[in-house]
């Protein structure tokens, strides 16, 4: 006969797994539907097929999404103050990937802790682990499941910002060459967006689109600065806005900004090189030195042992 607490754990486990599966399926279907809609918009130019593209979203996804919104709002109330704005900003830094939104992230934060805690408790029960260790592991996995979705978003945002940082000097060089060759600033941005692959090219293309839709150059560049956490790109945007206001030649500003960014990159590399000897001390002390001591002092220790206890002490022992 199964006891009532264990029955409750089993029921919570299977319910949590079911909810987690539903959330994952909805997230996957949303990504597929969004990509299909974007391809249809590019092919038809937002024509009559847009309504059909929207109706292709699975009925299952459209029916259960309100429940995800409820779970997301509940998890938002349980989260610390400012967590919603922080995750929203991290999603902007991550490029707003399809199928990722704040409500869905909070739905994951609501479901995943219970699934992970119930799963580890369920496995440890069958493994015969003591109840105390089961409770400790369940608590640890509960908090880990709460922070994992936010950590994934933050990790993706950090990777994207690093890619922007790496490709920024080459983009400014290409932009400077294009302006010196006679192209306007808008045309140089278009060339950069076509030739530079990755997140920075996408952001430049978005700036061009915003200017084509009627947004001023300064506002479009400021919006670019708000979508990134790269200090060099924000400095570039500030310099370009000031150059646009005061009428400074853009080619000169681009050349100066490119040179300064490369200097800062070299200084950052030198700083990391200076930190390396300090960081390598602990791995060396913990891993390499013990092996060296065993090799160098081992024979001497054996000789000292034999001399103290007399000849044949090692063999007789």
Report which of 233, 229, 212, 213 is spatially closest to residue 221, judged by C-alpha positions. Answer: 233
237 is a domain residue:
yes
35 is a domain residue:
yes
* Same-domain pairing of 55 and 123: yes
> b vs e for 62-82, b when ≥16 Cβ sit within 10 Å of the residue's Cβ?
eebbeebeebbeebbeebeee
294 is a domain residue:
no
- Could you list the residue range(s) of the whole structural domain that residue 207 is in? 163-267
Looking at residue 16, what is its pLDDT?
60
Question: What's the structural domain count of the chain?
Answer: 2
* Same-domain pairing of 16 and 82: yes
Reduced to 3 states (helix: H, G, I; strand: E, B; else coil), residue 229 is coil
Looking at residue 43, what is its pLDDT?
53
Q: In which residue are the tokens 């024509």 written?
A: 47
Mean pLDDT for each 10-residue chunk of the chain (317 residues)? 53 59 60 58 48 54 59 68 82 83 80 82 81 86 86 90 88 86 85 87 90 88 89 87 82 84 86 87 83 83 78 51
* Same-domain pairing of 169 and 125: no
Looking at residue 160, what is its pLDDT?
92
Looking at residue 159, what is its pLDDT?
92
Q: In which residue are the tokens 């709002």 written?
A: 73
Q: How open is the CA angle 142-69-92, to the nearest 5 degrees?
A: 85
Looking at residue 185, what is its pLDDT?
83
CATH for 201: 1.20.81
298 is a domain residue:
no
* Same-domain pairing of 103 and 187: no
315 is a domain residue:
no
* Same-domain pairing of 198 and 99: no
* Same-domain pairing of 240 and 195: yes
Looking at residue 245, what is its pLDDT?
81
Looking at residue 61, what is its pLDDT?
56
282 is a domain residue:
no
């Amino acid at each position: 006969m199964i006891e009532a607490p264990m029955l409750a754990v089993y029921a919570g486990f299977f319910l949590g797994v079911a909810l987690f599966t539903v959330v994952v399926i909805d997230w996957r279907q949303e990504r597929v539907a969004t990509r299909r809609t974007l391809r249809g918009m590019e092919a038809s130019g937002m024509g009559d097929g847009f309504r059909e593209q929207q109706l292709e979203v699975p009925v299952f996804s459209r029916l259960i999404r309100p429940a995800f919104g409820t779970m997301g709002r509940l998890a938002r109330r349980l989260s610390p103050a400012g967590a919603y704005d922080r995750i929203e900003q991290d999603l902007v830094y991550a490029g707003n990937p399809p199928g990722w939104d704040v409500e869905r992230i909070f739905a994951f934060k609501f479901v995943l802790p219970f699934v992970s805690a119930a799963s580890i408790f369920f496995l440890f029960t069958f493994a015969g682990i003591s109840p105390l260790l089961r409770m400790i592991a369940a608590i640890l996995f509960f908090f880990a499941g709460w922070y994992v979705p936010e950590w994934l978003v933050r990790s993706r945002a950090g990777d994207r910002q690093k890619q922007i940082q790496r490709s920024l000097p080459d983009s400014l060089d290409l932009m400077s060459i294009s302006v010196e060759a006679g192209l306007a600033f808008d045309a140089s941005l278009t060339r950069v967006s076509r030739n530079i692959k990755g997140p920075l090219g996408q952001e430049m293309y978005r700036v061009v689109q915003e200017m084509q839709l009627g947004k001023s150059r300064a506002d479009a560049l400021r919006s670019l600065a708000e979508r990134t956490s790269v200090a060099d790109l924000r400095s570039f945007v500030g310099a370009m806005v000031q150059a646009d206001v005061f009428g400074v030649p853009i080619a000169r500003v681009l050349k100066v900004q490119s040179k300064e960014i490369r200097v800062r990159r070299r200084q950052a590399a030198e700083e990391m090189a200076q930190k390396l000897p300090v960081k390598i001390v602990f791995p060396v002390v913990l891993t390499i030195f013990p092996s060296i001591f065993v090799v160098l002092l081992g024979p001497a220790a054996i000789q000292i042992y034999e001399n103290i206890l007399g000849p044949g002490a090692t063999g007789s022992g």
